[in-house]
Amino acid sequence: MSPPEQPRKFFVDRSLGRIAVPALLRAAGWVLITLAEHYGIPADERIDDTRWIEDTAKQGWVVLMKDKRIRYRRAEIQAIIEHQARCFVITRGDLTSAAYADRFIANRQAIFAASSTEGPYIHTVHADRLERLYPPRA
């Protein structure tokens, strides 16, 4: 069985930075666009999270982000639900850019496979696995 193909495109939130993490993911073959590339600078610093969640979901892009408190952000979770967004989040804030990229790359096959399913969902990206954060398992 061949590994799953990458979905059309990933969207990298500002929480992962404009340069280092996207460059490392691109070097590993990921097709992506950053928040800064999509909205421009300095607009990327002013766009509301709920807005970019809506916009990316409409584009069919899969979201990569870092947010240790995502489970408590009601407006963002509501936007994910309402717009059927597909999100992968690292919930640690103390890693290097290389370590963030390594987590996504290490879970590439699982992320690509999960990305082929419709949202809404949020998966937490750990060093060696994905864990579904939303919707919670019954």
For the domain that residue 82 is a member of, what is the CATH number?
A: 3.40.50
* Domain-embedded: residue 118: yes
**What total of structural domains would you count in the chain?**
1
* Full residue range of the structural domain in which residue 24 is found: 10-131
**Could you report the per-residue pLDDT of 20-59, keeping only the tens digit for each?**
999 999 999 999 999 999 999 999 999 999 999 999 999 9
Residue-wise DSSP of 71-125:
GG-HHHHHHHHHTT-EEEEE--SS--HHHHHHHHHHTHHHHHHHHTS-S-EEEEE
Kindly state whether residue 68 falls inside one of the protein's structural domains: yes
Q: Is residue 102 part of a domain?
A: yes
| Residue 136 within any structural domain of the chain | no
pLDDT at 2 over 60: yes
Could you tell me if residue 85 is inside a domain?
A: yes
- The answer as to whether 3 is a domain residue is no
Mean of pLDDT over the chain: 93
Look at residue 51 and tell me if it is in a domain.
yes
Task: Examine residue 138 and state whether it is found in any structural domain, yes or no.
Answer: no
User: Which are the contacts of 49, defined by CB distance < 8 A and separation ≥ 6?
Assistant: 73, 75, 76, 79
Give pLDDT tens digits for 90-114.
999 999 999 999 999 999 999 999 9
**DSSP 8-state symbol, 127:** S
